[in-house]
Amino acid sequence: MNVQPDLDFIKSLKEAGGDTLKKCYQCATCSVMCPLSKDGKPFPRKEMIWSQWGMKEKLVTDPDVFLCHQCGDCTANCPRGAKPGDVLSAIRAYAYTFYGWPAPLAKLASSAKGLPVLIGIPVVVIFIMWLISGAMHIPTQEEFASHGYQRFFGHWDFFWYAKNPFFIVLIMVPSLGLGLYSGFRGISKMWKSMSADAGLNKDYRPSVGQFIKEFLWPSLVEIVKHSRFRECTVNTDRVRGHLPLMLAFIGLFIVTCWSLFRLDVLALAWPSLHTPMPLTDPFKILANVSAVALLFGIAVLWNNRKKAESEQDTKPTFYDWFLIWEITAVGVTGLGAELLRWAGMPVLGYIVYFLHLVSIMMLFLYLPYTKFAHLIYRTGAYTFEKYRESGYGRS
């Protein structure tokens, strides 16, 4: 085999937390200790040697890189301190940039150097939209008590669509759309690359219905249950952090959909619904419970990360911390805006609400370039694993 190492790729792995990969001497302890590694296709041993050789093309098309849950079992038992889990995490960080579209935005989200611009883009967009809306003023305490943030972008007399949701949708839908489109492009490219690398037959494929029923849906169920996370023995607290975080996002998604339906459909028949939801509303309760779950989950993950850095000498990286900061900002500003509304403090309330919109736009816009991309690429890897082992993959 003629190996042409990609030295820039090796350098990027070291910068992203995989700086210990040169310590690996291929003893296979990591693959033996990993509860998720399979006998036929053990990892992370092969990924460690590919990383040492700079075999970028092999690694970014390897589903096992995304099947790794960074349990910590391999790192805890490595006799050389090579930290395979950190190396695979660095590979994933590189892959999200590699598959990301548009490339300049993906590259910008890969380093702390781009943070001012990453924050600046949504700040400028939302500020300009606020300016265009003509609603750049702070309401009185009476207006704030009556409408909350439902007139942040102002009010108009157009019966069929309120002004505030119009501007919020105008900002957030394109942001989420760009994030999802980029993720779709990335996962499509990854799937084609993995299929080619595995030598799958392109002419023998299931129908869309079969694919969803036999491969995609079982993968989603397994992810929601956190089945593989529960097999970890070292970082057992990760389930305690990830599960409430995932459930919180599901809850907040339900509340968002209901809010849009409430304001854009039901309020046409019952104009009284154009007011903040009361605390006793079931969806308001779900929103508050989800917000608390979000903050709890991120606190656990924050503590786990700090613990790993202090006890396991894990290198702190922008890739690992960016999403933690981002989700923390969403939770803190969201809950803070609500508390300030209850306290009748419109000036601080509007400032915090503005920051809340910024943090949400960042979450949507940079979805496929951060650890949030696990939702897309790990689901794809789960699905591909089942597909590869089926009759379609072996044909």
Which run of H or E residues covers position 382? helix 374-388
Cα–Cα distances (Å) from 292 to 97, 248, 296, 336, 361, in that order, read 31, 8, 6, 12, 20
pTM over cut 0.75: yes
Walk along the chain (395 residues) and give the pLDDT tens digit of each residue. 566 667 777 777 777 777 788 888 888 898 888 888 877 777 888 888 888 888 888 898 998 998 888 877 888 888 988 888 888 888 998 899 999 999 999 999 988 899 999 999 999 999 999 999 988 888 999 889 888 898 999 988 877 777 888 899 999 999 999 999 999 999 999 999 999 888 887 778 888 999 999 999 999 998 888 888 777 776 666 777 788 888 898 998 898 888 878 877 777 777 777 677 777 888 889 988 998 898 898 888 888 888 877 777 777 788 888 989 999 999 899 989 999 998 999 999 999 999 999 999 999 999 999 888 888 999 999 999 899 888 777 66
Cα–Cα distances (Å) from 267 to 37, 161, 332, in that order, read 53, 9, 29
Which two tokens mark 44? 């992370």
State the DSSP code for 113: G
The reported pLDDT for the residue numbered 160 is 75
The reported pLDDT for the residue numbered 361 is 96
Contact 278, 148 (CB under 8 A): no
Q: How many CB atoms lie within 10 A of CB 93?
A: 26
Residue 357 CA to residue 104 CA, distance in Å, equals 23
The reported pLDDT for the residue numbered 384 is 93
State the DSSP code for 138: P
Which two tokens mark 29? 């302890």
Give residue limits of the domains in the chain. 7-99, 104-394
Nearest Cα residue to 350 out of 330, 364, 336: 336
The reported pLDDT for the residue numbered 174 is 95
Contact 171, 365 (CB under 8 A): no
Residue 184 CA to residue 329 CA, distance in Å, equals 26
Q: How many CB atoms lie within 10 A of CB 391?
A: 9
Residue type, 319: Y
Residue with tokens 């990830």: 242
Contact 200, 388 (CB under 8 A): yes
Contact 365, 178 (CB under 8 A): yes
Distance of CA 388 to the CA centre of its chain: 25
Contact 305, 317 (CB under 8 A): no
Using only the alpha carbons of the chain, give its radius of gyration. Answer: 23
Q: How many helices (H) and strands (E) does the chain have?
A: 20, 0
Cα–Cα distances (Å) from 173 to 113, 126, 166, 178, in that order, read 27, 13, 10, 8
Which are the contacts of 150, defined by CB distance < 8 A and separation ≥ 6?
162, 164, 274, 275, 276
